[in-house]
Chain A
Amino acid sequence: MTAPILNEIQLDMLTEIFNIGIGQAAASLSEMIADNVELSVPLVKCLPLDEASLELAEMTATTISAVSQSFEGEFSGSALLIFPQQDSLELVKAILGTNVSLEQLSELEEDALLEVGNVILNACICTISDMLECEIIGEIPTHQQGTTKQVLSRSSLDDTAYVLLLSMIFSIPHHDIKGTISFVMNMGALQTFIALIDRYTEKLLH
């Protein structure tokens, strides 16, 4: 299957939509930690799953801690909130404040991450589905740990196929936290996604 080509307009639009979606997520996160969240320029790529994991690894770390929320509907895929493993605890600490002891933190780590991931990813998905006026059903998020490759393979992705990788780095400078928010989608779903983007573009231009 040849990689479907996204034209420039489509690419632009996709990037824009993603930007807005992530922006919402970032806003939620920012509220939670009462601090600024900085975002990088989004990355949009179409590549095989292996390479996608490599890309993600480059952007974050080899061993990661991730919150993964699958969604389906008019297009399917996974939304991922990925941190280097050591940073995830920092995030929890940032959210819960300094009153929590280290022991409690590690207990709460998984749960807290899930919640945070849940909020952020929901915000993201929500925004995108709103803009594209499509129905997506999001699952309960799960917590994953391991290499990027392992994490991605556990999500509902076809490992032989190409994926669409949309990714943005966010960082919380005062807490020394860096992570990515990513969307990974099967190519099969891409056609629908592209169609939706076209529709959105048309609406926007008229």
Chain B
Amino acid sequence: MTEAEHQGYRDQRETFSMLALELLDSGVVVINQSGKIILWNQWMANVSAISGQQALGHDINSVFDGKIKGRLIQAIDYALYKQLSSLLSSSLNRYTLPLYSQPTDSSAQPAEAIAQSITVKPLLNHHGDKYCLVHVANVTDVIKRETLLKQQGDDLKQLAHDKAVSEFRSLGIIENSLDCIMSFDQRGLVQNYNPAAAQMFALPSQMTKKLSFQSIVASLNSYSGLDIVNVIDSLGYTSSHVGTKWPEAIGVPTSGDTFPIEIAIISTEIDQRRLFTAVIRDISAQKETEQRLTQLARYDFLTGLANRAYLYERLELSISRVRRDKHPSALIFIDLDHFKTVNDTRGHSAGDELLRHVANCLTDVIRDVDLAARLGGDEFAIILENSGGKSQVGLAIERLCKSLATPLAIEGEEVTISCSMGICIIDETVTDCDELIKSADIAMYQAKSKGRNNYQFYSTELRQKSEIKLSLENALREATKTESLHLHYQPIVDIQNKRLAGIEALLRWDHPELGSIPPVRFIPLLEEIGLIGEVGEWVLKTACTQHKSWHDRGLVDENCTIAVNFSAKQFKDIETARMIDKILSESKLASELLNIELTESVLMASHRNPGEVLHELKKIGLRLSIDDFGTGYSSLSYLRKFPINNLKIDRSFIEDINNDNSTKAIVKTIIDLAHNLGLTVIAEGIEEPYALNFLKQHGCHLIQGYLIARPMSIEKFEDFCRAKNWQLESYDQSLLPNP
């Protein structure tokens, strides 16, 4: 190249260079050795709002009103005087120039400060003059990008971290859970399961072939997976995150036995797909505990028999079954006789042993389908399923009685037991459990009242009787208050002397609906319901008071006695004597005018000491008669032992006098015996004149019976007394003494 060409290029370069500088997208400032700006490109003018004209020839610091930090000044010095380059970084804002992205003029509010990277370099021109070049680059975008990238980097890191954490967590929980966790899709196809599931359902640890969820679970009451399938189908239509729970289902492993399970299924949506997660828990242990609890709740601790509650449950089942298939069952109530005695005399441990023995007898006799129960105390019950009719049940009961009758040794001593049983057949007419139980109860009480150690079948008559009895009991209780209980009086006539020798007071009960109820029916009731003492006292009191009144009014003569019946139950103890004494003194009746009539059984009762009581009574001064003489435990020795005054020949003898020679002989003998012992003899139940003649002939003068008069009310009796109507006209005239 020629020199001229070089120069030409140099000129071109210079011109171009100048242009280029103005077009650059960064700032170029050239400072001379004096520190003055000799170049200020267009970019600098744009971002600083300071034009080239304003800047040229000035110090850079003065151009920016002294806002330039020392670091830049120093860098310019270094460049100019030491030829050293400097870098002022973008991040440390202290070292930037006040430059803005859209400055309109230096006084207006700037839009955005520019982040800058400033380099300061020494510059030598071809003459060796020293200059300083300041290059300002706008790194705002770079910084923004960097910030964004960093943020994205941070986000990614967070995401990765979160994912790792959740993976870790879920991995931990699911992997280590003892419950089976399984996921399956809408068709029931299993996607995943955890190790617990593999173990529970005997599955391979890695799923190798297709597995359907429906094949490993089953509903409790059916042995197909149908119910669960239905639920899965319906879950598909519900919203996500809805769950369903089966408290009880069956797990069906691929090998081995089924086991009870609890399932919870929740449905979720992932990527618009339905996914179901099932958590399955083996509740075998729980079920076992439940069963044991039921066991405890159902069975009697002492004997191991079913308890009352369980009996009722089974009865309900029996009743419904019988109504369905019409094969009757039987309910038997069993009550041990005199158990209390054993308990009291031998102690509770002996009593317990006895109960256990009875329980064993029961369980030996019954079949598997039957049920033996202990209702409490000494009461037991048996349900005989499909027992057949009465005869078959009777056979079973015979077996049971035999077994129970075998004496057993309790704590070394032999004990024999008996029981009272009530049976009620459960047929299709039975609907109510309570009614059934009541019926068996009634039957059992019937057995008891029939003297124990027997069994009774329930019948409707029995119920009627018991109902009547119940109402009678209630009425009796009321009767003592309402005077529907009252006394009738029957005369005892001395046919020899033609006088009223004595009166027997007889208790009568007029039931408001049933009418007059004979004593033979209600006296036992009174005894049963425990009113006999109270009523007896009342009877005595009323009779004594009445008789005193009659005496006072002269309706009877001064030797006329009043007789009151006493039953065995009333002769409990010495209190009886005291009671009688008290009443006598209250009524002011002379004691020798009172006649206590006792039956032979009173004298024979083994657990009392009637002798003591009777002697007490004698001390008081009253009289004692043996009623129904000849019929009961007729041991003549008591005639020696006890202080008796009168004998009353029982009506059964009197009735047969006509017909039977031996009866005649007996009656004759009784009369003789009485006379020989110095006892008065009275004949009861005279209805015919013939009897009357016979008795008179043989020396029995005191007569009581319908021939003379029936038992009468007070009014009628008073009339009778006044009329002195001894019915003597009907007698055999030949026997009458001459008037």
Contact = CB atoms under 8 A, between A and B. Distances in A.
Interface of A: 69, 71, 73, 107-108, 111-112, 114-115, 118, 122, 125-126, 129-130, 135-141
A112 B87 contact: no
Nearest to A28: B74
Contact of B86 (A107, A122, A129, A135): A122
Secondary structure dominating the interface of A = helix
Contact of B85 (A115, A129, A140): A140
Contact of B121 (A107, A108, A140): A140
Given A71-B84, A118-B86, A139-B85, 20 more contacts: A107-B150, A111-B91, A111-B92, A112-B89, A114-B87, A115-B88, A115-B89, A115-B92, A115-B95, A118-B87, A122-B86, A126-B82, A126-B84, A129-B83, A130-B82, A136-B84, A137-B84, A137-B122, A141-B85, A141-B87
Interface string B60-99: 0000000000000000001000111111111110010000
B91 A108 contact: yes
B83 A137 contact: yes
B119 interface: yes
Contacts of B88: 115
Contacts of A69: 85
A151 to B, nearest CB: 18
8 contacts: A107-B150, A111-B89, A111-B90, A112-B89, A112-B92, A135-B83, A137-B122, A141-B87
Nearest to A122: B84
A139 B87 CA distance: 9
B85 A107 contact: no
Interchain residue pairs A-B with the least CB separation, the first 10: A111-B89, A138-B84, A111-B91, A137-B83, A108-B91, A122-B84, A126-B82, A140-B85, A140-B87, A118-B87
Contacts of B92: 108, 111-112, 115
A125 B82 CA distance: 9
Contact of A114 (B84, B89, B121): B89
Contacts of A122: 78, 82, 84, 86
Nearest to A70: B85
Contacts of A73: 83
A159 B89 CA distance: 31
Interface string B120-150: 0110000000000000000000000010001
Contacts of A71: 84
A122 B121 CA distance: 12
Contacts of A125: 82, 84
B76 to A, nearest CB: 12
B71 to A, nearest CB: 8
B120 to A, nearest CB: 9
Contacts of A112: 89, 91-92
Nearest to B121: A140
Contacts of A108: 89, 91-92
Nearest to B82: A126
Contacts of A140: 85-87, 119, 121
B82 A129 contact: yes
Nearest to B124: A137
Interface in B455-495: none
A138 B146 CA distance: 29
A145 to B, nearest CB: 17
Contacts of B85: 69, 137-141
A118 B83 CA distance: 13
B121 to A, nearest CB: 7
A73 B78 CA distance: 15
A135 B124 CA distance: 12
A136 B83 CA distance: 6
Contacts of B122: 137
Interface string B631-652: 0000000000000000000000
A99 to B, nearest CB: 13
Contact of A107 (B82, B83, B84, B91): B91
B196 to A, nearest CB: 44
A107 B119 CA distance: 20
B130 to A, nearest CB: 10
B135 to A, nearest CB: 10
Contacts of B87: 114-115, 118, 140-141
B114 to A, nearest CB: 16
Nearest to B81: A126
Contacts of B83: 73, 129, 135-138
A182 to B, nearest CB: 17
Nearest to B117: A111
Contacts of B150: 107
A45 to B, nearest CB: 26
Interface string B221-243: 00000000000000000000000
A139 B561 CA distance: 161
A71 B121 CA distance: 12
A197 B245 CA distance: 94
Contacts of B119: 140
Contacts of A107: 91, 146, 150
Nearest to A129: B82
A141 B95 CA distance: 16
Nearest to B86: A118
A135 B85 CA distance: 13
B121 A126 contact: no
Nearest to B120: A140
Nearest to B90: A111
A121 B121 CA distance: 15
Nearest to A108: B91
Interface string B547-575: 00000000000000000000000000000
Contacts of B91: 107-108, 111-112
B230 to A, nearest CB: 57
B151 to A, nearest CB: 11
Contacts of B86: 118, 122, 140
A135 to B, nearest CB: 6
A140 B78 CA distance: 12
A157 to B, nearest CB: 19
A136 B79 CA distance: 11
A102 to B, nearest CB: 13
A173 B84 CA distance: 30
A69 B86 CA distance: 10
A118 B82 CA distance: 13
A130 B77 CA distance: 14
Contacts of A114: 87, 89
Contacts of B95: 115
Interface in B145-170: 146, 150
B97 to A, nearest CB: 16
A69 B122 CA distance: 15
Contacts of A118: 86-87
A108 B122 CA distance: 26
Contacts of A141: 85, 87
A53 to B, nearest CB: 25
Contact of A126 (B78, B89, B90): B78
A183 to B, nearest CB: 14
A34 B447 CA distance: 117
A139 B121 CA distance: 8
A154 B224 CA distance: 79
Contacts of A135: 83
A112 B89 CA distance: 7
A124 B185 CA distance: 74
A130 B84 CA distance: 12
A177 B707 CA distance: 148
A108 B143 CA distance: 11
A44 B87 CA distance: 29
B409 to A, nearest CB: 95
B94 to A, nearest CB: 10
Contacts of B146: 107
A21 to B, nearest CB: 12
Looking at A73, A108, A135, A140, which has the most chain B CB atoms within 10 Å of its CB?
Answer: A140
Nearest to A135: B83
A172 to B, nearest CB: 19
A137 B83 CA distance: 5
